[in-house]
Structure 1
């Protein structure tokens, strides 16, 4: 188990220059937007506009903060992301634009390079005392502060921090309140 503290997240402009991203983790280490196998990041969306196009990349996003984010998709379809809603998966090749619904938004993004890796994202709420066991290798990204216990040690976790877990590793929520996490599993492509 390893904790990715928010203070250590790499901050960078979007590929299209129209927003800011906090990179939680990427593989291989030191890779950029043209060379990663996978990349986990938090995007700050301050204004309406186009998404960056990532050819050959599969993406999933989920809203972390804000009233909502509308995604205008190909074929004149629209999907709305909400604070407690399910993650949305789509090919990075798509031309998409977004509209904030009621002010700026923050969302969690996982991107995997097609043919190298696959991913899955799930939103979970852990009750006080509940234990989470990773179903596979991945990251638990916290959308609320929490105190967790793992391997007999307690750790204070701030919002937007993450814990890297191997399959079957676990932690327990020791806070007196529920903790919201998004678990992102990443696997080599078959």
Structure 2
């Protein structure tokens, strides 16, 4: 069976620097910490300007969910305005990133994978009426970023979601997404063929 993660059951954890908070959606393996997780999916609310935490050996993707956006200085090499125009940013976790908040808090979807063990792909998809999802990896997470509701079904089950809910799909290969209109994030977690030591 698929695992439905209801946003209403989750709790936000304030950042130590007071700049925002993080709501963990799912982590693997179960019960893992920042020191030993393989992958992690969360929502981050950035309320004030400040530096991101550094995570050596971790690859990250941030995607705008709500709010006016945030300007990110990435490794003193480039500046990215995470906004509706450019809503996705991927970067290594060991890179120093500084966030500048000018127009109010912003909420972002955050995927993290430990480079020595796995990688990830993230797709933003707009669903109008029906959309077919064919599995591309052994672990797939579907997150309802925008829209009142979404139904996701396979040959053997049907799951109802409301905004900010997530589902970790079971082993069924083909799923149907159904909504009047919704924006969903589809995250595929891809294990390394041969696990090596972290760089």
Give the TM-score normalised by structure 2: 0.85
1:178-189 to structure 2, matched below 5 A, reads 178-189=181-192
Asked if 1:160 corresponds to 2:164, the answer is yes
Q: 1:182 to 1:149 in 2, by over 3 A?
A: closer
Q: Deviations over 1:4-49 (max 9, x none)?
A: 1112334323365532111110001111111211110000111111
**Between Structure 1 and Structure 2, how many residues are aligned?**
188
In 2: Cα distance, 1:27 partner to 1:149 partner: 22
Please tell me whether the aligned partners of residues 135 and 167 of structure 1 are also in contact (alpha carbons under 8 angstroms): no
Cα RMSD, aligned residues only: 2.0
Asked if 1:48 corresponds to 2:49, the answer is yes
In 2: Cα distance, 1:167 partner to 1:17 partner: 42
In 1: Cα distance, 2:16 partner to 2:58 partner: 14
Q: What runs of 5+ residues in structure 2 fail to find an aligned partner?
A: 194-199
SS at match of 1:7: helix
Please tell me whether the aligned partners of residues 16 and 52 of structure 1 are also in contact (alpha carbons under 8 angstroms): no
Q: 1:99 to 1:28 in 2, by over 3 A?
A: same
In 2: Cα distance, 1:13 partner to 1:67 partner: 21
In 1: Cα distance, 2:102 partner to 2:158 partner: 38
SS at match of 1:178: strand
Please tell me whether the aligned partners of residues 147 and 154 of structure 1 are also in contact (alpha carbons under 8 angstroms): no
Q: Deviations over 1:89-129 (max 9, x none)?
A: 10100111111242100000011111111111111101113
In 2: Cα distance, 1:56 partner to 1:149 partner: 33
Asked if 1:170 corresponds to 2:175, the answer is yes
Asked if 1:29 corresponds to 2:30, the answer is yes
Deviation at 1:164, TM superposition (A): 1.1
Among 142, 145, 157, the residue aligned to 2:144 = 142
Q: 1:120 to 1:95 in 2, by over 3 A?
A: same
Give the TM-score normalised by structure 1: 0.89
Deviation at 1:157, TM superposition (A): 1.5
| Most deviating of 33-42 and 5-14 | 5-14
Please tell me whether the aligned partners of residues 51 and 98 of structure 2 are also in contact (alpha carbons under 8 angstroms): yes
Asked if 1:19 corresponds to 2:20, the answer is yes
